[in-house]
Each structure stands twice: as C-alpha cells, then as structure tokens.
Structure 1
C-alpha cells in the first residue's frame, strides 16, 4: 500500500475523534494457541538465509556483529533473553517478508517499536524480533493529520509535530515507541484536555498474520481499528504506520510542588478531590516515594498561562491545608513542556535518545506493575500505609478524567474511561534483587486492589497480576478475543499474556 492510499483512507475516515504512559507492552508470539515445543513436536527452523537475501545486513543473527546490542530491550532484567534473529525493517513489505519466512516454524514472533516492554515480550527468547524502529518518519499534512511511523520515539513525534505547530497527547518517557504506547491506550500529560493517544488515531497500517497489508479505520476493517485503540501491542498484527488527528499546540505551563515528609495523607486526599473536579486543561501526577514516613510531590501541566495554573494550585493547597517546601511554575511551549516532562529539558533532541543512538539516556533494570484508581477516591491514609517503610518504591498516580472520560468504556478497546487515575508501582532492581523487589511491588499492587483499585493498564504489563485479562480489558475482553481469532486464527502472535492466552 502506498502513502497516497494510506492517507486517502484517513481522509475517508474523517477526524471527529476525541482527544491520552509510559513503557508499552509489545507482544511476542507463538504458532498456534500454544508454543510448538509444548505440543510435543519440533518444526524445522526458518530459512534465515532466504530472509537475509531480502534484508541483507539488516537481518542480525546471533553470530553476527552487532547482535549483542540489537537483541537488547530497555529493561536490563530481560537481558537473559536471546532472540534467534532480529530483523530491522524499513517498510511494510519487509515485515511481510519476515512473516512469510518465520510463520509456521514454531517460534515466537514479536514486533519491537521502542523496546520498552516491561517483561521483554518484544525480544522473545529464540524468537524473531521484527524491529520497526527504522520506520520513524513524522509528517504533518495541511489539515493537521500526522502520518507517523510505528518506530518513532515519543521525543521524535513531539519534535516533528511542534515544528508544524501541532500536538499529540502521549506519554512522558522520550525513548518509548509510539507504536506500543498507542496500541495500549496512551496515557499522558495532556490527556485530560485532548484524550488518550489512541483516541486521536484515525487509521493504522497493519500487517496481519497472513502477511496481508491492511488499513484499519472506521471505514475499513473497523473491528480491527477498534481493537488497536487500547487492545495492547502485538495482539492482532504488526502496525507499521499511524495517522493521528492532531490539535493546534497552545502555550502550556508546567509545575512541580514538593511537600514535607509526613504530608502524604493530606496531599493525596486533596489531590484526588482536586483532579476529579478540575477543568479539562489541568493534568497532574501525584508521586509518592516510599519511606519512613513516605513523601510526595505533584508534577503537572496546565493548558494556559501561569496565572491560571497558580489559581488551580492554590485551590489544591487550600484543600490540603499544607505548605509545599518548594513550588516551581514555568511557562513553556509544547516541545519545551514535553522535554521538561521527559527529564531532558536542557538537552537537544539528539541527546534525548538512548546511548546506542547517540543520546545520553541509558538502560536500566526495574520492576513495575499497575492498578487503576476509581472512579471514586481511595482512602489516602491506607494508601500511605502501603508505602510506609518501602524505601526505593515509587507510586506514580497519573490523573485521568476530562476528555478521557467522555467516551464510553466500549467505544474503544481501552476500558478504564471512568477511572480517576492510573497507578504505577515502580522500583529499580538488579538480577540479584529482583525477587525481593518483585514481592514488595506486588504487595503494594495487591493492597491497592483491596482498597478498591482492581483494574490495570496493559502498557505496564505484569506477569503475576491476578485475572490479568479482565484487569486490563474489563468487559471488552470477549470482543478482543473475537477480533484476535478473526485476524490471527492460528495464534501467530500469541504470547503468555496475549488476548488469545487470556
């Protein structure tokens, strides 16, 4: 499919979508509902040389120079996974060639966009990584529709759109791939005003398990289009291009409030009430650091000038009846605000990339899980108790509501439309400390569920989450399974936490 046909499909779909992370869950796959090795037979290995004839040095095998880097994901805890091959694709036809060679050989097949899969599902052991990083272009049409390659990192999307005076609501981590983020929903710092990233999706170019190249939109393959908006990365095919309905980029104001240790119950209680009643222009994250006692800060973004932001902040502080130890409020343009949220405010765009791409951002080891608050508030004292004494563990609460809540839970595959906030429990870890860290993080996650936060966000994918299919997808799970059966009847893209496996 050429670019003209792709954009024509976008035009036919219209732009009447309502407009919003972190690291996405990209999917590994197996042939059939279960891996071939579990069915008691061995398939012949793929003909890698046939694929090399197509891709040349862009097919990286274990004995090739560069494999040691090409095989890695972002999370260092997954470094023990050794893919059988990494295919660096530059086009949808490259992806089709990969599937034609690898399909039917009993190996996992996974797409990799930014490589941030928490559990390393995008780098399956002994499988094929279909790396779409080479498809990273960002083009903005005169009508504001943005054509974005599935391998573009968020910092590249922000820079490309800002140059055209446009914005897309999305996550804060600059090296996350837009592909995985969008397919899982796309929670981000402008979500309450402009919606989830997936809410802005007008069309997607997808290679399905049969190597067919499709354009999913409201007019074509509409069930697939529905599933791609929040149904999780890698479940239904390999997406190679997106078309987004962007918005004009306004002036923004960012702010950071730090509070004294021991003030968490007051601040969290006030924050929950504050964001629930806030104008759509306000987004704020309450970030609680475990300790004795726990401490917190609030990081936020206001669509407007500092005067408006300060009015909202003052309303919060009156409700919390506490004084922050520091208060930073600063006007920013769209790109500067996104760089600020990304933690690379003083860096060039090139520096906001991973070290292996010439930037300064390094890989790390971590354990992270999630829950979804709401629709009502949780007891702030009990949430604080969960973090008491847990030094090194962070609870990151990102506000939802606003435009996110204007759609019905079944309007897209993302079901958490009535949630107050997403909750990510995060802790750094090494291979040696991972078991203990995992137990601690899981305890906080399960404690939140007992307090009334049963759902979870698929982009923070978690292999010990109880009843994960329902937690991620709610009542949308049966329809997602039906779409998976329609477009991948043989389970080419199945993996341990795929829609098929649920």
Structure 2
C-alpha cells in the first residue's frame, strides 16, 4: 500500500530547479571543479549596448550541445517537468555536460546581459528556470553519483533523488532528502532540503560539506567551511538560482538504516481532530520518527511517515497518535530496507509530466484552532495541505548557522493544487488558501515552494538571514547576472 505520488508529491521541494530525466552512474565521478580564468563581468554603470550573443561560438564550447529556436529538438529541449511553463521560449538551451560548459555559458550571459538560469533534474514551482529570451543551462547530463570509501558522496547537479537513493543504497549509505523521485538534488539542497529523515539526520543542506560553483564572473570555485565560507553558508538554504551555478555537491552520508514505514487513513470529516492530534504528537516524538499530515479538500485525512528502527518501536508511537485523534479506517505498517522505504514514498519515478501550482507556509507552533486551517479548503477540490514535520535534528542547528531560517518551526505546510482544471483556477485557489493560512500561521514560507505571487517574499523565505544573504549575493554577483524576479540580486 505505497503512498501515492500525488499524496506526497512535493514533500521535499526543489527551489527553481526544473525537470529533465537524468541518468545516474556510480562508476563515473561527478564533474569536479576545474581551474579557470575569471571572466570579467560587464561594467555596472556602462550605457553601451551589450553585444549580441555569439551562438555559433558558444555551440562550439558546450560539449553537450546548444539548442536554438528552429533546431529540430528545440520544442522538447525548452520544456521542463511542469507543462504550465510550456509557453516559455528561451533564446537557447545549453546541454551542459561539464563545469567548463557552464563557465562558457555564464560568460556569454554576463557579456550579453542575457537572463540565465540553471535547470536541474527535478520538477519546478515557477517559470524562473526557463526565462523567455534567456539562456537555459540544462544540467541533466551532469547526474553522476560517486560514493567514496569514507562515506562521502559526490553528486552531480543534474541528479534526481531516484538516482541518488539508488546509488547510496548500493553502497549501504543514506542521505536525508525528499520523498518524490523527480526532485532534483540541486534545488532541494540549495533551498534547505526537508525530507523523510530530517528529524533524525537534519536537512539535506546540513549534510553538505562542499560544492563546486561557477559564480557570475565565470570563476569555478569550491565552497566549503574552509574555502569561500560565506558562499558556503549562503548556498545552504539561500535558494536555487541565486549566487551561482552549482555543478556538484559533496555530502556526508550515514549508514543506511532499517526503517519502518506507515500510513494511517482516517474518516472523512475528521481532519481537524487528526491535525490537532498530529501536531502535538509530532512535537513530542523521538527524532527517529518523521511524519506528515495530509488534509485533502473534501477528502479523508492521512498521516504517513517512517521510523528509524523496526515496527516494534513504531507501533506504540502510532497508538499514541490514534489515542490523540480517532480510530483510522486503515492502518498500514511495514519494515523495509532503506531503498525500499524511499521507494514507498516515491511512487512512479517515470510518471508523466504533471501540471500543478503550489506554495507554502511555515507552522511555527501548534495551532490553537486546527479547524480553522482545515476550513481554508472549504468549497475547494483538488487542493491539499501537507504538514511536514520538522524539529529534532533540524531544530538543534542554530537559525543563523546556515541560510535556512526556519529551524524552530514545527512543520512546513505545502499548499498543492492539481492544475488539470486550468492554471488560472489553480493559482487563485492556492493564493486563497495561502492568504488564509498566513492569517493563522504568519507570513513565513519555504523557498523550495517558490511562489511568484507571494507578498513580501524575501522576508517570508529568509527571515533574519535576509540581510546577510543579500550581502553575499552582492559580493558574488554584483552586476545581477543571475537576477530574477524573486532572486537576491537585481539586474
């Protein structure tokens, strides 16, 4: 009885990374930093018109190929995972296979002052990763995963979680990350990385030890605690699309544990009771337990999750939840190996493209009136609220230790709407629910559910870390090469 992809579709988030199916290999190392000569950015105050991009010259420098309008595969190359953005028409799509490819592209974008965005391996929440008349860097070809003997994993920026989990499991290792197989590791990590092992092992960004980055001046840098420490700080929660293009990530992993997965379905109409009981239950749960509470508009609520350890330790905890809520109509518990447990949440890694609109809020403390949150879905259909538990190891890291600011929160709250009935309707419904939850929970939001219509987005995403993030962005991208509507730099 696996949890469906729709139920837990967006449980980790991907920042502004967009979709492309990427292969994965444990035989070849992910792209590593190369030495380079910095490419001077354009003068910030010049009034001279920038030169047009020399696409023919760039085509000769991008080993994976450059796709332009009029090329036979342009219609396919310009599309990401979410069909809502199929109308975007970038000036070119560069299929980057090496860090040198990325450097060449950034140099052209800087010189010609073109919008530029990296598209990683996962799905996307906004169209920022496919700018009209801009240059898209498709990193799907940089998806290798190498697990070293010391337990560190070097992961290419185009890898999706399905590939990462498989490679780690083969080596007997694990990484706290998301639940959806089409999430790209790049966007997930750069925005923080909420996932099914976060309470035990922390956010995905907490496991990052270094990153290979191409910054706006075309320089290939290694960001770590000892090299470019301010850039390293900003990359851990500062959001995808900001500060530079990360081409590979090095993570500290853990031995893969045995897990018990579970799913409890409750009667329709019990959502307020279930949410109220869940929030007190997860707040006092051991680190080994992660769970979310899913409230469907007009449907039956559900609590799903996993436990680091066996079902013998999990079942008494589930009994406490039932005692605090109501008797479920279905209770499923199963002991599983690490990879099987990740696949339990994943659903179909090869599912077709899907149209959706999403946003988020942050639940700082238990709601005094859970029914009010449930009422935000009143009269709607096809809209879900997914309360993903935080706490545990996430909360033991100070809020200013990384750029991710929501360390003390009880949960993130995904607002997800299937857009099969049209993008306008789905967007209006998500905006409506987001505003209602804002009145109940406050204005904070999670950048990995990036939302183009979110009011005061910068403070909502970054809280008390905003000023430091803007300073880092100004240092590494003073001319706004990577600027976009909700970016940390301005053109």
**In the alignment, which residue of structure 2 is the partner of 1:437?**
426
Would you say the 8 A contact 1:369–1:462 is kept in 2? yes
**In the alignment, which residue of structure 1 is the partner of 2:28?**
none
Matched, 1:203 2:194: no
- Please state which structure has a larger fraction of its residues in helix: 1
Could you tell me how far apart the structure 1 residues matched to 2:455 and 2:232 are?
28
Instruction: Please point out which of 350, 354, 360 is paired with 1:364.
Output: 354
Would you say the 8 A contact 1:33–1:501 is kept in 2? no
Matched, 1:165 2:172: yes
Instruction: Please point out which of 398, 409, 425 is paired with 1:408.
Output: 398
**In the alignment, which residue of structure 1 is the partner of 2:108?**
101
Could you tell me how far apart the structure 1 residues matched to 2:76 and 2:435 are?
36
1:70-96 deviation line (CA, Å, top 9, x unaligned): 111111111110111111111111111
1:272-316 deviation line (CA, Å, top 9, x unaligned): 00000000000001010002xx53101111111011111110010
1:45-87 deviation line (CA, Å, top 9, x unaligned): 2000001112266111111121111111111111110111111
Would you say the 8 A contact 2:291–2:389 is kept in 1? yes
Instruction: Please point out which of 165, 176, 179 is paired with 2:183.
Output: 176
- The size of the alignment, in residue pairs, is 459
Query: Shift of residue 406 of structure 1?
Result: 0.4
Could you tell me how far apart the structure 2 residues matched to 1:492 and 1:227 are?
17
Give SS of 2:112's match: coil
Could you tell me how far apart the structure 2 residues matched to 1:289 and 1:383 are?
12
Would you say the 8 A contact 2:419–2:425 is kept in 1? no
Query: Shift of residue 102 of structure 1?
Result: 2.6
Give SS of 1:241's match: strand
Give SS of 2:445's match: coil
1:146-181 deviation line (CA, Å, top 9, x unaligned): 111111111110000000100001111111210111
Would you say the 8 A contact 1:254–1:331 is kept in 2? yes
Could you tell me how far apart the structure 1 residues matched to 2:87 and 2:43 are?
25
Matched, 1:238 2:245: yes
Query: Shift of residue 23 of structure 1?
Result: 3.2
Give SS of 1:107's match: coil
Gaps of 5+ in 1: 1-19, 345-351, 353-359
Could you tell me how far apart the structure 1 residues matched to 2:170 and 2:50 are?
50
Give SS of 1:265's match: helix
1:174-210 deviation line (CA, Å, top 9, x unaligned): 1121011100000101110010000000000000011
RMSD: 2.0
Gaps of 5+ in 2: 1-10, 19-40
Could you tell me how far apart the structure 2 residues matched to 1:492 and 1:336 are?
42
Mapping for residues 381-420 of structure 1, pairs under 5 Å: 381-420=371-410
Could you tell me how far apart the structure 1 residues matched to 2:279 and 2:332 are?
21
Could you tell me how far apart the structure 2 residues matched to 1:260 and 1:436 are?
28
1:341-374 deviation line (CA, Å, top 9, x unaligned): 0113xxxxxxx2xxxxxxx321111111100001
**In the alignment, which residue of structure 2 is the partner of 1:469?**
458
Instruction: Please point out which of 12, 18, 21 is paired with 1:21.
Output: 12
Could you tell me how far apart the structure 2 residues matched to 1:127 and 1:82 are?
8
Mapping for residues 98-497 of structure 1, pairs under 5 Å: 98-291=105-298, 294-320=299-325, 322-344=326-348, 352=349, 360-430=350-420, 433-497=422-486
- Greater shift, 453-462 or 472-481, is seen at 453-462
Would you say the 8 A contact 1:378–1:452 is kept in 2? no
Could you tell me how far apart the structure 2 residues matched to 1:41 and 1:237 are?
25
Would you say the 8 A contact 1:32–1:491 is kept in 2? no
Give SS of 2:111's match: coil
Could you tell me how far apart the structure 2 residues matched to 1:146 and 1:212 are?
24
Would you say the 8 A contact 2:13–2:187 is kept in 1? no
Could you tell me how far apart the structure 2 residues matched to 1:264 and 1:115 are?
31
Going from structure 1 to structure 2, the CA distance change for 1:463 and 1:378 (only over 3 Å counts) comes to farther
1:391-411 deviation line (CA, Å, top 9, x unaligned): 111111100001000011111
Would you say the 8 A contact 1:22–1:172 is kept in 2? no
Would you say the 8 A contact 2:261–2:307 is kept in 1? yes
